[in-house]
């Protein structure tokens, strides 16, 4: 039996089940109405969020079990307290003055209350001992304690219970979504990689996305007394969604499938310019290996982390349509309200990467580019312990479902953790000794530089030797800087990686920060050294000039359009031609003169696309002066006759419009 057939059969079964469920629901509604009639107050509680698919399959049981059980017990209320019961979507809610004021930690009060009310809550000691504390939140008036039900060590889907305790210790509300599990579970027979393959087939996977099959975990579905299932997540562009698929760990059959995507925004605090820029001190350094101290006060920007897949956030993962953080770090637990943290928080680097890439992709899309690396990039923000560097690996190398995706792996110091034995030396830049270390993701340009490579690769430019590599590096530097420009106050935008460089590079001159590279410079084609990053300055400097001349937005639109015109491999003059072609298409070639001068200064002689206006900007002195200047300008030999004629026509039309 193929997984597809299994899937189809399951769907039919689900349809049959749904009909039964509808019938049962009517009965349950009738029961609920009876319960509501018994209520002394009209309190109404929102349902706890549960996993939809599990609910559909298991709905008959989930709805029916508590309803009958509690009607009889509502008569056994304690004297001095006031209790109301409602059952909604499988969650039993007790509310009122459920206890006397009590002393003790909120967790103690919660567990004590449950233990004293096993009957009315339909709990037992086994369930209590299996509860896993999820979180305790303090609001203005109460503590809110949440637990996850586990069975045999496995989380039970939808099985949560929460107690809400007024600050004087009175239990006010209990939401009980604990499921009835009677089965015991053996170790999975189906391997999790097989489960992931089945899940991919079930979703269809027409357009696979970059995804590392981590966080596949065995869970208990509350159906038929409990079934052990692999819970897998398959993000896909088509069919669009973050698909959750449950696979029976014994039989490999699909127990449930559904799109869990629902995107949320969570506030966070991040570095949006690097700390050297933020301090405005070119010599600003960190002397405490990743520790936050007062020298970082005021450097954190309040941001909204957007497009987060709420289902994945609920299990601690940071994932959205543009970035997927694969670090083995719990970013959030159910009910998370903020990511406000500082640089020493283990989540900080992942948040820096996620936010930077999501914002960069939204910037790309703001121009109307909808298909330029518009998929999640997988990132290990703390992926290289003890290494201050970053690397980008093609998905094909790692055997990922999408071979065209990129996985970005960044270094971090790791010395304060137990990940490395203390005697492992810090790997400095090029093997040099270093007396300090910056977590790579703390310098926001690093992840955006790597994203620049991913964009260029996605457009189809794979590289092509030393020159193509230099185009890649130059574009990547420029892209990172242009993305971050809104946060820098214009300071040192031309320098690349000042914070990353603070221990590993010397400053070029007094008053300027140390940096990996500088986009302002006079390097030409003749200055090629054969090292792609160094030679990247030969391409980033004309891009910098274009940014300064046209402004950030126009330059971004022009250069993003241009990279689509690159060959699969090529060099500076191919890249220059592509910019000229993009200018013809977007701007009627009106920046031709400036662009050609810019490229000429680097000794590039690109082909001239038809329609480029090679004439200098219109000046008051009239047409004859322009012609003379154009003809007299060296480096314009390649201008085609048609190009000149067309450009002249455009210039004429423009002049008439004035
Ligand atoms: Zn690079």
CB 466 within 8 A of CB 532: yes
* pLDDT at residue 261, rounded to an integer: 54
* pLDDT at residue 618, rounded to an integer: 75
Same domain, 201 and 287: no
* pLDDT at residue 641, rounded to an integer: 31
Collapse the DSSP code of 216 into the 3-class scheme (helix H, G, I; strand E, B; otherwise coil) and give the result: coil
Both tokens of residue 515? 């940096």
Ranked by mean pLDDT, which of 90-94, 202-206, 624-628 comes out on top? 90-94
327-331's contacts with Cβ under 8 Å and 24+ in sequence apart are 327/379, 327/380, 327/381, 327/382, 327/383, 328/214, 329/382
**For residue 123, pLDDT beyond 80:** yes
Residue 449 Cα to ligand 1 midpoint, Å, equals 6
Enclosing H/E stretch for 151: strand 142-151
* pLDDT at residue 328, rounded to an integer: 77
Banded pLDDT at 17 (limits 50, 70, 90): very low
28-42, 217-231, 554-568: segment of lowest average pLDDT: 28-42
Residue 493 Cα to ligand 1 midpoint, Å, equals 17
Percentage, residues of the chain above pLDDT 90: 39
Residue 456 Cα to ligand 1 midpoint, Å, equals 11
Residue 394 Cα to ligand 1 midpoint, Å, equals 14
Residue 474 Cα to ligand 1 midpoint, Å, equals 8
318-327, 493-502, 623-632: segment of lowest average pLDDT: 623-632
* pLDDT at residue 257, rounded to an integer: 76
Identify the bridge partners of residue 392 per DSSP, sorted by sequence position. 408
The answer to whether position 296 is within a domain reads: yes
19-23, 206-210, 308-312, 545-549: segment of lowest average pLDDT: 206-210
* pLDDT at residue 579, rounded to an integer: 97
Residue 341 Cα to ligand 1 midpoint, Å, equals 29
Residue 219 Cα to ligand 1 midpoint, Å, equals 41
Residue 628 Cα to ligand 1 midpoint, Å, equals 43
Same domain, 292 and 392: yes
Same domain, 599 and 636: yes
Collapse the DSSP code of 123 into the 3-class scheme (helix H, G, I; strand E, B; otherwise coil) and give the result: coil
Q: Which one is predicted more confidently, 242 or 594?
A: 594
Residue 56 Cα to ligand 1 midpoint, Å, equals 48
Both tokens of residue 513? 């920060």
Give the position of tokens 């987060």: 308
Residue 473 Cα to ligand 1 midpoint, Å, equals 5
Residue 415 Cα to ligand 1 midpoint, Å, equals 26
* pLDDT at residue 414, rounded to an integer: 59
Collapse the DSSP code of 343 into the 3-class scheme (helix H, G, I; strand E, B; otherwise coil) and give the result: coil
CB 147 within 8 A of CB 129: no
Both tokens of residue 486? 């809104």
The full 3-state SS of 581-648, as one line of letters, equals HHHHHHHCCCCHHHHHHHHHCCCCCCCCCCCCCCCCCCCCCCHHHHHHHHHHCCCCCCCCHHHHHHHH
Residue 392 Cα to ligand 1 midpoint, Å, equals 8
Same domain, 74 and 204: no
Residue 304 Cα to ligand 1 midpoint, Å, equals 28
Residue 116 Cα to ligand 1 midpoint, Å, equals 62
Spell 505-544 as b/e; 16+ CB within 10 A means b. bebeeeeebbbbbbbeeebebeebeeebbbbbbbbbbbbb
Per the structure, how many domains does the chain have? 4
DSSP 8-state code for residue 49: P
Banded pLDDT at 149 (limits 50, 70, 90): very high
* pLDDT at residue 396, rounded to an integer: 58
The CA dihedral of 74, 78, 79, 80, to the nearest 10 degrees, is: -120
Give the position of tokens 């967790």: 107
Residue 471 Cα to ligand 1 midpoint, Å, equals 10
Residue 107 Cα to ligand 1 midpoint, Å, equals 50
Helices assigned H by DSSP within 135-281: 192-203, 275-279
Residue 480 Cα to ligand 1 midpoint, Å, equals 10
Question: For the residues 88-111, what does the mean pLDDT come to?
Answer: 88
Same domain, 167 and 32: yes
* pLDDT at residue 378, rounded to an integer: 84
The answer to whether position 509 is within a domain reads: no
* pLDDT at residue 16, rounded to an integer: 53
Residues 6+ apart with CB under 8 A from 79: none
Question: For the residues 405-410, what does the mean pLDDT come to?
Answer: 76
Which of 259, 274, 295 is a domain's end point?
Answer: 259
Residue 481 Cα to ligand 1 midpoint, Å, equals 13
Cα-atom radius of gyration of the chain, to the nearest Å?
31
Residue 476 Cα to ligand 1 midpoint, Å, equals 6
Collapse the DSSP code of 228 into the 3-class scheme (helix H, G, I; strand E, B; otherwise coil) and give the result: strand
Residues 6+ apart with CB under 8 A from 90: 47, 50, 55, 59, 62, 63, 66, 158, 177, 179
The answer to whether position 240 is within a domain reads: yes
Residue 143 Cα to ligand 1 midpoint, Å, equals 49
Q: For residue range 331-347, what is the model confidence (pLDDT) as tens digits?
A: 876 667 789 989 888 89
Which of 148, 176, 204 is a domain's end point?
Answer: 176
Q: For residue range 473-528, what is the model confidence (pLDDT) as tens digits?
A: 999 999 999 999 999 999 999 999 998 888 778 888 899 999 999 999 989 999 99
What residues make up the domain containing 451?
263-463
The answer to whether position 614 is within a domain reads: yes
Both tokens of residue 284? 């600003």
Banded pLDDT at 263 (limits 50, 70, 90): confident
Both tokens of residue 470? 């230099």
**Closest residue by Cα to residue 586 from 606, 549, 612:** 612
Q: 191 to each of 156, 216, 234, 250, 413, how far by Cα in Å?
A: 20, 11, 17, 10, 34
Same domain, 312 and 388: yes
* pLDDT at residue 285, rounded to an integer: 84
The answer to whether position 504 is within a domain reads: no
Banded pLDDT at 104 (limits 50, 70, 90): very high
The answer to whether position 531 is within a domain reads: no
**For residue 150, pLDDT beyond 80:** yes
CB 577 within 8 A of CB 552: no
CB 257 within 8 A of CB 247: no
Residue 183 Cα to ligand 1 midpoint, Å, equals 54
Percentage, residues of the chain above pLDDT 70: 70
Q: How many other CB atoms are found less than 10 A from the CB of residue 479?
A: 29
Banded pLDDT at 142 (limits 50, 70, 90): confident
Q: For residue range 164-198, what is the model confidence (pLDDT) as tens digits?
A: 999 999 998 898 999 989 999 999 999 888 888 88
Residue 180 Cα to ligand 1 midpoint, Å, equals 54
CB 479 within 8 A of CB 448: yes
Residue 552 Cα to ligand 1 midpoint, Å, equals 21
Residue 535 Cα to ligand 1 midpoint, Å, equals 11
34-42's contacts with Cβ under 8 Å and 24+ in sequence apart are 34/71, 35/67, 35/70, 35/71, 35/74, 35/85, 35/86, 35/87, 36/86, 38/71, 38/74, 38/85, 39/84, 39/85, 39/86, 40/82, 40/84, 41/84, 41/95, 41/96
Question: For the residues 290-307, what does the mean pLDDT come to?
Answer: 88
* pLDDT at residue 118, rounded to an integer: 93
CB 214 within 8 A of CB 129: no
82-96, 228-242, 536-550: segment of lowest average pLDDT: 228-242
Residue 429 Cα to ligand 1 midpoint, Å, equals 15
* pLDDT at residue 336, rounded to an integer: 72
* pLDDT at residue 207, rounded to an integer: 40
Which of 176, 204, 239 is a domain's end point?
Answer: 176
Q: What is the DSSP string of 53-66?
A: HHHHHHHHHHHHHH
Q: Which one is predicted more confidently, 5 or 460?
A: 460
Same domain, 66 and 169: yes
**For residue 298, pLDDT beyond 60:** yes
**In whole angstroms, what is the distance from residue 604 CA to residue 141 CA?**
69
* pLDDT at residue 483, rounded to an integer: 97
Q: Is 470 buried (19+), middle (13-18) or exposed (0-12) by CB count in 10 A? A: buried
Residue 450 Cα to ligand 1 midpoint, Å, equals 6
Residue 409 Cα to ligand 1 midpoint, Å, equals 13
Same domain, 254 and 268: no
* pLDDT at residue 440, rounded to an integer: 85
Q: For residue range 538-588, what is the model confidence (pLDDT) as tens digits?
A: 999 999 999 999 999 999 999 999 999 999 889 999 999 999 999 999 999
Banded pLDDT at 84 (limits 50, 70, 90): confident
50-59, 69-78, 488-497, 636-645: segment of lowest average pLDDT: 50-59
Same domain, 171 and 239: no
Same domain, 232 and 274: no
Identify the bridge partners of residue 406 per DSSP, sorted by sequence position. 394
Collapse the DSSP code of 93 into the 3-class scheme (helix H, G, I; strand E, B; otherwise coil) and give the result: strand
Enclosing H/E stretch for 227: strand 227-238
The mean of the pLDDT values for the chain is: 76
The answer to whether position 247 is within a domain reads: yes
Q: Is 298 buried (19+), middle (13-18) or exposed (0-12) by CB count in 10 A? A: exposed
Both tokens of residue 418? 């137990």
Residue 557 Cα to ligand 1 midpoint, Å, equals 21
Cα angle for residues 157, 163, 166 (degrees, 5° grid): 160
The answer to whether position 496 is within a domain reads: no
**In whole angstroms, what is the distance from residue 315 CA to residue 312 CA?**
5
Residue 530 Cα to ligand 1 midpoint, Å, equals 14
Residue 408 Cα to ligand 1 midpoint, Å, equals 11
Give the position of tokens 């039919």: 12
Residue 448 Cα to ligand 1 midpoint, Å, equals 10
64-71's contacts with Cβ under 8 Å and 24+ in sequence apart are 64/24, 64/27, 64/28, 65/122, 65/180, 66/90, 66/92, 66/122, 66/176, 67/28, 67/31, 67/32, 67/35, 68/31, 69/122, 70/35, 70/120, 70/122, 71/31, 71/34, 71/35, 71/38
Residue 472 Cα to ligand 1 midpoint, Å, equals 7
Residue 463 Cα to ligand 1 midpoint, Å, equals 11
| ipTM for the assembly | 0.95
Banded pLDDT at 249 (limits 50, 70, 90): very high
Q: Which one is predicted more confidently, 497 or 55?
A: 497
Identify the bridge partners of residue 319 per DSSP, sorted by sequence position. 324
Q: Which one is predicted more confidently, 240 or 262?
A: 262
Residue 114 Cα to ligand 1 midpoint, Å, equals 57
63-77, 262-276, 297-311, 599-613: segment of lowest average pLDDT: 63-77
Q: Is 577 buried (19+), middle (13-18) or exposed (0-12) by CB count in 10 A? A: buried
Same domain, 622 and 558: yes
Residue 551 Cα to ligand 1 midpoint, Å, equals 24
Residue 469 Cα to ligand 1 midpoint, Å, equals 8
Q: What is the CATH number of the domain that holds 236?
A: 3.10.450.40
* pLDDT at residue 20, rounded to an integer: 57
Residue 192 Cα to ligand 1 midpoint, Å, equals 35
Same domain, 216 and 118: no
**Closest residue by Cα to residue 299 from 317, 273, 318:** 273
């Amino acid at each position: 039996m193929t997984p597809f057939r299994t899937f189809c059969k399951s769907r039919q079964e689900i349809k049959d089940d749904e009909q039964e469920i509808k019938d049962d629901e009517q009965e349950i509604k009738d029961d609920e109405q009876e319960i509501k009639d018994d209520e002394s107050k009209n309190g109404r509680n929102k349902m706890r969020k549960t996993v939809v698919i599990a609910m559909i399959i298991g709905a008959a049981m989930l709805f029916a079990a508590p309803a009958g059980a509690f009607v009889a017990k509502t008569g056994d209320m304690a004297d001095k307290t006031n209790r109301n019961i409602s059952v909604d979507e499988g969650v039993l809610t007790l509310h009122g003055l459920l206890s006397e004021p009590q002393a003790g930690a909120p967790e103690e009060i919660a567990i004590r209350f449950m233990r004293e009310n096993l009957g009315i809550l339909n709990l037992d000691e086994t369930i209590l001992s299996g509860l896993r504390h999820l979180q305790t939140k303090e609001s203005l008036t109460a503590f809110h304690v949440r637990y996850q039900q586990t069975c045999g060590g496995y989380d039970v889907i939808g099985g949560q219970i929460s107690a809400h305790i007024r600050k004087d210790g009175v239990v006010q509300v209990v939401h009980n979504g604990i499921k009835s599990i009677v089965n015991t579970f053996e170790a999975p027979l189906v391997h999790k990689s097989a489960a992931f393959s089945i899940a991919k087939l079930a979703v269809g996977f027409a357009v696979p996305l970059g995804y590392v099959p981590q966080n596949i975990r065995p869970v208990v579905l509350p159906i038929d007394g409990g079934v052990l299932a692999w819970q897998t997540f398959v993000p896909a562009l088509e069919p669009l969604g973050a698909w959750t698929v449950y696979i029976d760990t014994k039989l490999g059959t699909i127990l449930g499938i559904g799109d869990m995507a629902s995107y949320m925004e969570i506030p966070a605090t991040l570095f949006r310019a690097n700390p050297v820029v933020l301090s405005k001190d070119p010599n600003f350094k960190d002397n405490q290996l990743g520790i936050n101290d007062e020298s970082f006060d005021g450097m954190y920007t309040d941001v909204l982390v957007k497009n987060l897949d709420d289902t994945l956030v609920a299990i601690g993962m940071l994932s959205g349509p543009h970035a997927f953080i694969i670090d083995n770090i719990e970013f959030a637990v159910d009910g998370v309200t903020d990511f406000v943290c500082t640089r020493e928080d283990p989540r900080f680097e992942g948040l820096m990467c996620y936010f930077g890439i999501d914002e960069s992709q939204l910037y790309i899309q703001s121009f109307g580019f909808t298909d330029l690396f518009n998929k999640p990039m997988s990132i290990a923000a703390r992926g290289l312990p003890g290494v201050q560097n970053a690397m980008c690996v093609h998905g094909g190398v790692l055997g990922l479902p999408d071979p065209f995706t990129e996985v970005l792996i960044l270094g971090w110091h790791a010395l304060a953790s137990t990940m490395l034995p203390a005697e492992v030396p810090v790997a400095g830049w090029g093997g040099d000794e270093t007396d300090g270390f910056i977590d790579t993701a703390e310098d926001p340009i690093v992840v955006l530089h790597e994203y620049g490579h991913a964009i260029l690769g996605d457009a189809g430019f794979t590289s092509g030797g030393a020159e193509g590599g230099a185009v890649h590096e130059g574009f990547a530097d420029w892209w990172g800087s242009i993305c971050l420009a809104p946060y820098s106050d214009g300071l040192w935008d031309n320098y690349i990686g000042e914070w990353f460089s603070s221990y590993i590079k010397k400053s070029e001159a007094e008053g300027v920060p140390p940096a990996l590279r500088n986009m302002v410079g006079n390097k030409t084609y003749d200055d090629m050294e054969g090292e792609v990053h160094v030679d990247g300055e030969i391409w980033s400097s004309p891009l910098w000039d274009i940014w300064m001349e046209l402004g950030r937005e126009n330059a971004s639109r022009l250069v993003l359009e241009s990279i689509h015109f690159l060959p699969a491999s090529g060099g500076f003059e191919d890249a220059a031609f592509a910019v000229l072609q993009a200018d013809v298409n977007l701007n009627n070639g009106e920046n031709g003169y400036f662009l050609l001068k810019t490229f000429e200064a680097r000794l590039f002689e690109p082909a001239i696309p038809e329609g480029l206006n090679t004439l200098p900007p219109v000046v008051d002195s009239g047409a004859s002066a322009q012609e003379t200047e154009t003809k007299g300008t060296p480096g314009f030999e390649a201008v085609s006759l048609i190009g000149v004629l067309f450009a002249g026509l455009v210039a004429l039309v423009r002049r008439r419009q004035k």
